[in-house]
Amino acid sequence: MGSSIRMEPAAAGCGAVLHGVDLADLDDATWEVVHRAFLDHGVVFFRDQNLGPDDHVALARRFGPIVVNKFFPESDVNPEIAEVRKEPAQQTNIGGGWHTDHSYDEIPAKGSILVARALPSRGGDTLFANMYAAYDALSDGLKKTLCTLRAVHSNDHLYGEDGIYHKTDLAGMLQGKDLVGEAVHPVVIRHPETGRPALYVNPGHTRGFEGWTVEESLPLLQFLYAHASSDAFTCRFQWSPGSVAIWDNRSTWHMAMNDYQGERRLLHRITIDGVALEAA
Ligand code: SIN
């Protein structure tokens, strides 16, 4: 690690903060440090960055090709940047429950880069959970069972014609009702870059285990959700102007707090394309 770069854990079981990095001007050695931290810690936080929209796109391209979210509003500044926006009059926020981005796609997203643009005076933190650590802490017996299972992930219940979001005051800003779909992935994936096993179900998008009914799936899923979102595997990021979070969607979940009613919050998100996921 370069002498001016310092890394500290964000919490005991999740995430890291990297100091001494200018994301708008990354040399190859520093990029290696950022990429390694992303793979090892699942989510990496940066403070006091000056990352314009073009820099944001350039940073994302170092991770891989960009995949544009089908449902979020595009930003005016660049169609490859999605807006995660909540206006003062809105009650509902985007991403207000635990999820991982694009798990409903056959090729789920590799990572996401979120940049603070306008923040409420307080609140609006983002929580992250580490799915390597959550998996590692399960019993050998449950691990063995989970490794035989696949799960169905969908977005219809959120973004479809009758989806939850279309019953809220977010409806006007969302698009792509007709682009909904589902995909099936292993419940425990072998991470395509680190080779580590990670739990790959999430409360936002997973509908049930393949070949099981929703009712049969729910008790085990609920156990896994309560386990994976416990304090031991989570961290909380408090945004400030210039903050950036980069996370690995294969090994983390995230959730945006909705505790700043009456204020505006705008973040720019770019999602990076991944690869099909294989079982551990
Ligand atoms: C998201 O990407 O789900 C939004 C996260 C946030 O707004 O903090």
Spatial CA neighbour of 7 closest among 62, 60, 45: 45
DSSP 74: B
Query: Any idea which residues carry the catalytic annotation?
Result: 99, 101, 254, 269
Q: What is the CATH number of the domain that holds 81?
A: 3.60.130.10
- Distance (angstroms) between ligand 1 centre and the Cα of 86 equals 11
Number of domains in the chain: 1
Phi/psi at 61 (5° precision): -65, -20
- Residue with CA at minimum distance from ligand 1 atom 8: 256
270 lies in a domain?
yes
Task: Reduce the DSSP state of residue 69 to 3 states and report it.
Answer: coil
In a domain, 217, yes or no: yes
- Give the model's pLDDT for residue 157: 86
Residue 195 maps to a domain: yes
Atom 3 of ligand 1 has which residue's CA nearest to it? 95
Range of the domain at 183: 6-275
Burial of 232 (0-12, 13-18, 19+ CB in 10 A): middle
172 in any annotated domain: yes
Task: Give me 230's structure tokens.
Answer: 């416990």
For residue 1, is it within any domain? no
280: in domain: no
Regarding the beta carbon of 95 and ligand 1, being less than 6 Å apart is answered yes
Rounded to the nearest angstrom, the distance between the alpha carbon of 199 and the centre of ligand 1 is: 20
pLDDT of residue 75: 81
For every one of its 280 residues, what pLDDT tens digit does the chain have, with 9 covering 90 and above?
Answer: 656 899 999 999 999 999 999 999 999 999 999 999 999 999 999 999 999 999 999 999 999 999 988 887 778 889 999 999 999 999 999 999 999 999 999 999 999 999 999 999 999 999 999 999 999 999 999 999 999 999 999 988 888 888 888 889 888 888 888 888 899 999 999 999 999 999 999 999 999 999 999 999 999 999 999 999 999 999 999 999 999 999 999 999 999 999 999 999 999 999 999 999 999 9
- Kindly provide the b/e burial profile for residues 92-118, where b requires at least 16 CB atoms within 10 angstroms of the residue's own CB: ebbbbebbbbbbbbeebbbbbbbbbbe
204 lines ligand 1 (CB under 6 A): no
* 257 within domain boundaries: yes
The answer to whether residue 226 sits within a structural domain is: yes
Distance from residue 2's CA to the centre of ligand 1 (Å): 30
CB atoms within 10 A of CB 30: 19
**Single pTM value for the model:** 0.96
Task: Give distance in angstroms: CA of 144 to centre of ligand 1.
Answer: 32
